[in-house]
Amino acid sequence: MPIHSITEGADQFLFTLLGDLYGWGKSFIQRITKPGMYEVLNYETSLEILDPKGRDAILTKTEEVRFLQNNIIAFQDQAWGDGKILVDYQCTPGTPVDFYRSGHKTHVLISLRDVKQKGDQTNFRIQWKIKNGFLKSNGYWATDVNHFTQSLKISIIFPKEKPPSRFILVESNSQKTKELPREMITQLPDKCWQMTWEKRHPRLHEHYILKWEW
C-alpha cells in the first residue's frame, strides 16, 4: 500500500476524532451551564397519520420542564412542515396568545397565567392537527433540541392500510445518517403501525429528522 494512502487515512481518522471530541466537550459544558429559561426533563411527541393518503394527522406532545430563572410568565412552542399546520391548537397549562412566523417556523407564545420561579416544574400537553401534510410517498418529521434535554422520545403512527417500509434518522448538524432497523416498527392492537425512537441526553441545538417511505 502506498505510504501517502496510509497518511491520508490517519489524517482523516484524526480529523474525525477531533470533531467528536469537540462535540463531546461542548455538550458537556452545555450540560453544566444549562443555558436558557428552562431545561426539559422529558420530551415526548407522537405524530399520528390518520388516513392512507396522509391528508389528516394529529400531533400530540408532552414536555416536562424545570425553570432555571425566576419570574417566568410565558412559554414558547414552535412548528413547521408541509400542508396546513397548527389547526385547532390546544395547550395546557397556559393560553396561546400569539402566533408569528420567523423563517420557515411558526412560533407560538403561550401565556402561563402564572409566575414560575427557579426550580418550579411544569408538565405541558400540546396538541394540534395537520391538514394535507403527508401526501407524498416519502415523508419526514423533524425535532429541534433548543434547550438542555434529558430524554427525547418520538413516535410516528401510520394507518393500518399503509405501513412504512423504511426509516432513516438524520442528525443534520452532526452530519450523520443511518437507517433504522425494521424491528423498531410494531403493529398496535388497533392494527395501526408505530415507529418509536428514543434518545437520552440529545445534543443541544441538534436537528433530528426521521424520514420514511410508505
Could you tell me which of 36, 46, 35 has the C-alpha nearest to residue 143? 46
Dist. CA 2–CA 18, nearest whole Å: 25
- Sign of the CA dihedral 33, 92, 98, 46? positive
- Assess whether 24 and 114 both reside in one domain: no
The full DSSP string for 20-36 is HHHHHHHHHHHHHH--S
- Assess whether 199 and 164 both reside in one domain: yes
Please state, in angstroms and as integers, the Cα–Cα distance from residue 180 to each residue in 43, 139, 143, 183, 186, following that order.
Answer: 21, 15, 17, 8, 13
Is the Cβ–Cβ distance between 6 and 112 less than 8 Å?
no
pLDDT tens-digit map of 146-198 = 999 999 999 999 999 999 999 999 999 999 999 999 999 999 999 999 999 99
- pLDDT of amino acid 35: 64
- Assess whether 100 and 199 both reside in one domain: yes
The domain that holds 124 is classified in CATH as 2.60.40
pLDDT over 80 (residue 116): yes
- pLDDT of amino acid 36: 83
Dist. CA 115–CA 72, nearest whole Å: 6
Note down the domain range covering 6: 1-33
- Assess whether 16 and 90 both reside in one domain: no
- Assess whether 114 and 22 both reside in one domain: no
Query: What phi and psi, each to the nearest 5 degrees, are found at residue 125?
Result: -125, 120
For all residues of the chain together, what is the average pLDDT?
89
pLDDT over 90 (residue 91): yes
- Assess whether 141 and 180 both reside in one domain: yes
- Assess whether 141 and 91 both reside in one domain: yes
pLDDT over 50 (residue 114): yes
pLDDT over 90 (residue 26): no
Identity (one letter) of the amino acid at 66?
R
Higher local confidence (pLDDT), 152 or 18: 152
3-state secondary structure 156-211: EEECCCCCCCEEEEEECCCCEEEECCHHHEEECCCCCEEEEEEEECCCCCCEEEEE
- Assess whether 61 and 138 both reside in one domain: yes
- Assess whether 1 and 78 both reside in one domain: no
- pLDDT of amino acid 20: 53
- Assess whether 21 and 109 both reside in one domain: no
- Assess whether 71 and 152 both reside in one domain: yes
Total domain count, the chain:
2
pLDDT tens-digit map of 27-57 = 444 444 456 899 999 999 999 999 999 999 9
pLDDT over 70 (residue 24): no
pTM: 0.81
- Assess whether 74 and 154 both reside in one domain: yes
